[in-house]
Structure 1
Amino acid sequence: MGPCLSSSRGAHGDSDESSSRKSQDPHDTAIRSDDGVRKRPSSDAAMMMAAQQTHQPELSKPQKDVGDARSRELTEANVAAVSEGNVSGTTARSHQNATTTTKAGLARDLERSSNADRSEDAASDVSETSSSSRRDMPTITTDKVTRYSVRVGEMEYSQFNQYIIVKDLGVGVHAKVALGLHIQENLLYAIKVSHRNAAVAETAVRKEIAILKKLNHKNVLKLYEVIDDQKTNELLLVLEYASSGPIFTRYDKRPLREPLIHRYIRDVLQGLDYLHHAAGIAHMDLKPENLLLMADGSVKIADFGVSFIGQSKAVNSNKKIVGTPAFIAPEMLGEDGYDPYIADIWSLGVCIFHMATAELPFIGRTIFQIVAMAQRQGLRFPPEAVVLSPELKNLLTVILVVDPTKRATLSRIMTHPWVTARGEQPLPPSLADQPLQIDVTEEEIAAAVRADPLATLL
């Protein structure tokens, strides 16, 4: 058989390498509970959630050949090239800067084998469609999953519907992620597949899907298809494929160069501005692992499982603690509630600090220790941070302010001298003064999927 999904860490999912032990890592996975979030935990162990061991469900076994001899040959070339990483440009409806000869040629041949009446130019047009034109396409909903065992040359691969599963990208606590090749389009997608035995809150799953269906921005990950089979109770999500993975991880021991951080953060700010001011959504789990790097160098925000939906500057009256401990704003532990949008700003500051120093600004074995350190000593730069520009240090000092009422706003950050290169590279104006463009209702969340989504959480 073709490659099975393993526990290696990929671009769209966390690994479960520490599944056999409780973790004290403040980077650990987002805090959640039965209603989609976790309230104040009763113990340190509960605070630091460990990844859980998962397994791949059995696939159905029917075999089929992939078309005629010519089609089999071409599909084999596609799968082999992707498996070996040789087709760098064919990435998930994402990139117009493709490896033209390889991508366009394969796409034309696939189109010829499936429909001889289509012209070579038309097939080329399909393969070279850019992300900007694809982004406006509405999310497709498919109500049936058909699985095959597909023979490609001497190898067998799993296939469902029109996607051949080329290889695994990662396995996380609640979902596994595979790289899928669309056999008609010759494009790659990240496909999130549910774990049937995972016990997670369906509210969070429905919320994320309802949100992703409506979001449309160049710096927010795109959901292209929801495969929702009510009969088999399967839920699969077909997303953009971020071929380069997260922009930074807990395992990176060297900081990023400041010009690279600058480029990444400018993209993140535009995506966050869209979420906050056009969509009325606070992310609530901003961290480098949820900021994905595309093959064209752009950065997209992903993972909306614990997001807050509501009016800007509305206090979260439920006082829910959500997110990843090292990136959670101090006010989230208070008794008076907090503004989720301002809490996102703190998380953004931690992301920048982490990438610039390869360290966390505040550390501890529990979220309470982390927040206590922030409140006690404030922001301090490590000795190696001497290489950072004064402008970047100033930006961090106005973001990582414990008092949320004194913390820099998103609009202020977008016009900060470091972000704008002292005015030489201004960002588009913030959407803060514009009316909301997106409204995600509770009814839409409830109706996001028909199948019971107890096993998929992005």
Structure 2
Amino acid sequence: MEVGTILMNRYEIGRLLGQGDLAKVYYAQDLTSGQGVAIKMIDKDKVSSVELMVRIKREITLMNLLRHPNLLKLVEVTASKIKLYFVLEYPKDGDLYTKNVIGRLSEDAARKYFHQLIGAVEYCHSQGVYHRNLNLENILLDENGNLKISDFGLSVLPGSREDGLFHYPCGTPAYVAPEVLSWRGYDGAKVDIWSCGVILFALVAGYLPFQGTDRTDLFNKISLGKYECPSWISVKLKDIQYYVRFLI
């Protein structure tokens, strides 16, 4: 879509922010409020499977259901004959992955982000919602340094578990919990907490705790809990990691 295009008589399209196999995301200005927004555009002809359409509808339902200052806000959803449009809050300062690539954070800075992260995750769980794909790329930052959890495409609605467990493995490989890899079912809350722990480690270490030469090697290390803390992590934080692992 060309820069300057007016969409729905309201949004002036700006630069391309990113794209994937299914969608493109553009920056846009809301001409009624002057606020910047992000617009996720999905070609309808790419939504070829029933499963994918169900996933998109579920994401819309969840984003309308959840209201928390550290969750990305869905402004509205609309459509044309050929496209779906998600109009989203636009956090200006990128994502935690980019910040982490620049360099590791101090423990004080990491504590601030982690506190916001677990507060938002706790809220989701209180509503019966489990994200199942928490990672650095899905955590965005606004201009005030507040994080916004995004991408609820793999999240699940309240009451969607049959036996109290989920059986469909999903998530970003380096962040998944060991039980997701076991194919014996897993608790949605616990795997989200595990991913939060991976994120905390990455923020203070500057790299992910589990890395492998290939996916098999990576999953083996996750299953064994095989990682090492860098020397610069404080004893206090190492103790916290021990107790978190024990509780999980």
Q: TM-score, normalised by structure 2?
A: 0.89
CA gap 1:253/1:241 in 2 versus in 1, 3 angstroms: closer
Residue equivalent to 1:353? 201
Where do residues 242-391 of structure 1 align in structure 2 (5 Å cutoff)? 242-249=91-98, 252=101, 254-277=103-126, 279-310=127-158, 314-316=164-166, 319-376=167-224, 378-381=226-229, 385-391=230-236
Matched residue count: 242
Note the C-alpha offset of 1:314. Answer: 2.1
Note the C-alpha offset of 1:247. Answer: 1.8
Deviations 1:402-453 (CA, angstroms, capped at 9, x unpaired): xxxx434xxxxxxxxxxxxxxxxxxxxxxxxxxxxxxxxxxxxxxxxxxxxx
User: Greater CA radius of gyration, 1 or 2?
Assistant: 1
Where do residues 181-200 of structure 1 align in structure 2 (5 Å cutoff)? 181-198=29-46, 199=48
Name the CA distance, whole Å, in 2 between partners of 1:321 and 1:178.
30
Within the candidate set 214, 219, 238, 2:87 is matched to: 238
Larger relative CO (CA 8 A, sep 6+): 1 or 2?
A: 1
Note the C-alpha offset of 1:225. Answer: 0.7
Asked whether 1:168 is paired with 2:16, we answer yes
Give aligned-pair identity as a percent.
30
Where do residues 118-137 of structure 1 align in structure 2 (5 Å cutoff)? none
Report the AA paired with residue 215 of structure 1: L
Report the AA paired with residue 407 of structure 1: L
Name the CA distance, whole Å, in 1 between partners of 2:139 and 2:84.
24
Residue equivalent to 1:158? 5
Note the C-alpha offset of 1:363. Answer: 1.4
8 Å contact from structure 2 (residues 100, 206) kept in 1: no
Report the AA paired with residue 129 of structure 2: I
Note the C-alpha offset of 1:355. Answer: 1.5
CA gap 1:236/1:223 in 2 versus in 1, 3 angstroms: same
8 Å contact from structure 1 (residues 331, 337) kept in 2: yes
Local SS of the residue matching 2:145? coil
Note the C-alpha offset of 1:360. Answer: 1.6
- The more displaced of 352-361 and 215-224 is 352-361
Name the CA distance, whole Å, in 2 between partners of 1:377 and 1:284.
19
Within the candidate set 40, 56, 66, 1:205 is matched to: 56
Name the CA distance, whole Å, in 2 between partners of 1:355 and 1:294.
17
Local SS of the residue matching 1:332? helix
Comparing both structures, which one devotes a greater share of its residues to helix?
2
Q: Which runs of 4+ in 1 moved over 4 A?
A: none
Local SS of the residue matching 2:96? coil
Asked whether 1:394 is paired with 2:234, we answer no
Local SS of the residue matching 1:236? strand
8 Å contact from structure 1 (residues 379, 397) kept in 2: no
Q: TM-score, normalised by structure 1?
A: 0.50
- Structure 2 unaligned segments of length 5 or more: list them: none
Asked whether 1:407 is paired with 2:247, we answer yes
Name the CA distance, whole Å, in 2 between partners of 1:379 and 1:310.
34
Name the CA distance, whole Å, in 2 between partners of 1:328 and 1:202.
24
Name the CA distance, whole Å, in 2 between partners of 1:367 and 1:315.
24
Deviations 1:270-313 (CA, angstroms, capped at 9, x unpaired): 11110011x11110000011111111221111110001333599
Local SS of the residue matching 2:122? helix
8 Å contact from structure 2 (residues 45, 82) kept in 1: no
8 Å contact from structure 1 (residues 248, 289) kept in 2: yes
- Structure 1 unaligned segments of length 5 or more: list them: 4-156, 409-458
